[in-house]
Chains A and B, each alone.
Chain A
Amino acid sequence: MGMNLAERILARSAGRDQVAAGEFVMAEIDLALLHDIFAAQVFNLLRDTGLDQVFDPDRIVVVIDHLVPAPSEAAAAIHQSIREHISRLGITAFYDAGRGICHQLLPEHGHIRPGDLVVGTDSHTTTYGALGAGGTGIGTSDMVYALATGQLWFRVPETIRFEMTGDLMAGVSWKDVILHLAGRFGADGAQYRAIEFAGPAVAGADMSSRLTVCNMALEMGAKFGLFAADGVTDTYLRSHGGAGTEPFEPDADATYEAVHEIALSNLEPQVALPHEVDQVSPVTEVEGISLNQAFIGSCTNGRIEDLRAAAEVLAGHHIAPGMRLLVAPASRAVLGEALETGVAATLVEAGASILAPGCGPCFGGHGGLLAPGERCIGTHNRNFIGRMGSSEAEIFLASPATVAASALAGHIADPRKLGASDG
């Protein structure tokens, strides 16, 4: 019987010829990711078990990205403790504060290969499905178990397949596609399931777009969000420090819980409204809602392609009076490219503040929080109540082009009316 991508990944990891949805397997982990919110705690717990060693120091990546630069003495102390732990445990793949966000750095530095099983102490570990890898989030206790043993239990998920056809309109991006899917199928539309993003339209999605889509697959409850590995994957891997790849695809006779046809050609720019990612409207229905802050960044949309899309909208204009525009590049490499290509200058001239590469205000830890009654539109992935400061603030989510157009207008605005071309 044929296997879909999730089944192929878990069968290989469990050393089995065949697995099917619903089975429990003990799987070998290819890569484990920890970031600064949880790493020190995990390493302390590991020490407390008495097994103070890791299954393979070369298959663990640690990133300091959330509290960057350290906004408090407590955060600085946590960073210090992480540095001590990793040198004691012999972990060499370590990205210190300022290098960027974990989900940007792992693909960017060639840590992710198609077919890998990757666990991270971060829900958006699903991002790596863009490269055909089974990435999924786990908690701290599960991570301690995974680090100690190199294994973890998994339930083989059912898979939903989206067959996507048609070309996106100018001014519409794959962020709009995933917001639309979240709105249509709901925040629990893929609960416990894997999603395969497929169909003729995906050939036109570059790696940056695929990373955006798989990042937000989690916001539909997905365990994995997966693209097959194809020519786009091969090119990306070769240009990011690794060997190329053979195609990694589902079997032709693979089975799915559901297959949905999604036509993209009439899709408008989308906006998620407070306080749920699945409260989604076309931008034309929410234009004019006034704003205080705009944010471009995060592991969802902080790549050079995203900064460039925003810069195209902002070039030669200035953000509206009373607006604040924050830009947090997803990595130092992204910031470097933005500087080299003039994108950074365009953003700053338009009134943007550039933050250190990292998570920035995305999760409300520091740097760009909201007061009661304020509204922010951002390119990130969550608009939950209290996510960016006050629980009386409101967060809207949209594409980089829509966020940039809204920053100029001072209210939610349609990027197509400004002649953006973020296809």
Chain B
Amino acid sequence: MADDILRGRAWRLDHDISTDVLSPGAYAVDPVEVRKLHVLESVIPEFANEVVAGDIIVAGRNFGCGSSRETAAENLKALGVACVVTESLSRLFMRNAIAVGLPALICTGIHAAFADGDDIQVDLVTGVVTNVASLVELRADPLPEEMRRILASGGILALLKGRSVA
């Protein structure tokens, strides 16, 4: 990946943000241009309008719980979200985030260390997460090499295409 150090504005979300909230069922079969407009609308109605490329999601426990819908991760990526850092996250969301090339990290203490709108820096190689204003530094679980390889390719489909060309 080109940028191993990400810096952006934090959107602080609560615990148990489900895939129904990240990708509402009513738009399940709509194209991503439509789906992305409804991300988080039941909890932060202005999110899709106000999020800008490079913003980073900071969330509580069990982020992305619920269904296998990859659109939950894909919608965030389509809105330009650079990274998701959570207290804990659902296994399916983690799989899907890696598959679409969206870094997702687990970092104990993240929810308390950030307020909405804080300036956040994430080092994907070391796992160090910094609150730029308060200089509080936390350490996320580093991603295993297998996952970093998929992220570096830009997602698992890019990896597959690379394989079919090779």
CA distance A154 to B98 in the complex (A): 13
Q: Which residues of B are found within 8 Å of A74, using beta-carbon distances?
A: 29
CA distance A155 to B95 in the complex (A): 10
Given A37-B28, A49-B160, A386-B20: A142 and B99 interface contact (C-beta under 8 Å): yes
Given A24-B146, A141-B100: A188 and B62 interface contact (C-beta under 8 Å): yes
Q: How many CB-defined contacts (below 8 Å) exist between A and B?
A: 118
CA distance A244 to B42 in the complex (A): 48
CB distance from A361 to the nearest CB of B (A): 10
Q: Which residues of B contact A (CB under 8 A)?
A: 16, 18, 20-21, 24-26, 28-29, 42-43, 61-62, 65-70, 73, 88, 90-92, 95-96, 99-100, 144, 146, 155-157, 159-161, 164
Contact B156 A188 (CB under 8 A): no
CA distance A50 to B164 in the complex (A): 8
User: Within the complex, which residue of A50, A120, A125, A191 is in contact with B62, where a contact is CB–CB below 8 Å?
Assistant: A191
- Judged by a CB distance under 8 angstroms, whether A123 is at the interface is yes
Contact B42 A391 (CB under 8 A): yes
CA distance A295 to B91 in the complex (A): 29
CA distance A104 to B62 in the complex (A): 28
CA distance A365 to B69 in the complex (A): 14
Q: Which residues of A are found within 8 Å of B164, using beta-carbon distances?
A: 49-51, 148
CA distance A51 to B165 in the complex (A): 10
Q: Which residues of A are found within 8 Å of B159, using beta-carbon distances?
A: 145
CA distance A140 to B156 in the complex (A): 10
CB distance from B43 to the nearest CB of A (A): 8
CA distance A399 to B148 in the complex (A): 43
CB distance from B161 to the nearest CB of A (A): 5
Contact B70 A386 (CB under 8 A): no
A74, A120, A221, A365: which has the most chain B beta carbons within 10 Å? A221
Q: Which residues of A are found within 8 Å of B92, using beta-carbon distances?
A: 123, 137-139
Contact B161 A188 (CB under 8 A): no
Which 8 pairs from chain A and chain B are nearest by CB? Answer: A139-B70, A139-B96, A137-B68, A141-B99, A188-B62, A391-B42, A123-B68, A384-B20
Contact A141 B146 (CB under 8 A): no
7 pairs across A/B with beta carbons < 8 Å? A50-B161, A123-B67, A138-B96, A139-B70, A364-B25, A386-B21, A387-B25
Contact B28 A365 (CB under 8 A): yes
Q: Which residues of B are found within 8 Å of A120, using beta-carbon distances?
A: 68
Q: Which residues of A are found within 8 Å of B43, using beta-carbon distances?
A: 385
Interface size class of A (residues with CB under 8 A): 35 or more
Q: Which residues of B are found within 8 Å of A125, using beta-carbon distances?
A: 68
Contact B95 A138 (CB under 8 A): yes
CA distance A149 to B90 in the complex (A): 25
Contact B29 A386 (CB under 8 A): no
Contact A37 B95 (CB under 8 A): no
Q: Which residues of B are found within 8 Å of A153, using beta-carbon distances?
A: 146
Contact A221 B65 (CB under 8 A): yes
Q: Which residues of B are found within 8 Å of A364, using beta-carbon distances?
A: 20, 25-26
- Judged by a CB distance under 8 angstroms, whether A230 is at the interface is no
Q: Which residues of B are found within 8 Å of A223, using beta-carbon distances?
A: 91
* Contact mask for chain A residues 182-216; partner B; CB cutoff 8 A; 1 contact, 0 none: 00000110011000000000000000000000000
- Judged by a CB distance under 8 angstroms, whether A161 is at the interface is no
User: Within the complex, which residue of A48, A122, A386 is in contact with B24, where a contact is CB–CB below 8 Å?
Assistant: A386
Contact B65 A139 (CB under 8 A): no
CB distance from A45 to the nearest CB of B (A): 6
Q: Which residues of A are found within 8 Å of B69, using beta-carbon distances?
A: 37-38, 139
- Judged by a CB distance under 8 angstroms, whether A75 is at the interface is yes
* Contact mask for chain A residues 282-309; partner B; CB cutoff 8 A; 1 contact, 0 none: 0000000000000000000000000000
A48, A74, A78, A139: which has the most chain B beta carbons within 10 Å? A139
Contact A188 B95 (CB under 8 A): no
* Contact mask for chain A residues 360-376; partner B; CB cutoff 8 A; 1 contact, 0 none: 00011100000000000
Q: Which residues of A are found within 8 Å of B146, using beta-carbon distances?
A: 24, 153
B28, B43, B68: which has the most chain A beta carbons within 10 Å? B68
Contact A192 B160 (CB under 8 A): no
Contact B73 A145 (CB under 8 A): no
Q: Which residues of A are found within 8 Å of B16, using beta-carbon distances?
A: 187, 276
- Judged by a CB distance under 8 angstroms, whether A144 is at the interface is yes
- Judged by a CB distance under 8 angstroms, whether A159 is at the interface is no
CA distance A121 to B65 in the complex (A): 15
Q: Return the chain B residue nearest A222 by Cβ.
A: B91
- Judged by a CB distance under 8 angstroms, whether A380 is at the interface is no
Contact B160 A138 (CB under 8 A): no
- Judged by a CB distance under 8 angstroms, whether A411 is at the interface is no
CB distance from A126 to the nearest CB of B (A): 10
8 Å CB interface, A376-420 against B? 382, 384-387, 391
Given A37-B29, A221-B91: A138 and B157 interface contact (C-beta under 8 Å): no
Given contacts A24-B146, A37-B28, A139-B70, 9 further A-B contacts (CB under 8 A): A45-B157, A123-B68, A141-B100, A144-B157, A188-B62, A188-B90, A364-B26, A382-B66, A386-B42
CA distance A386 to B27 in the complex (A): 12
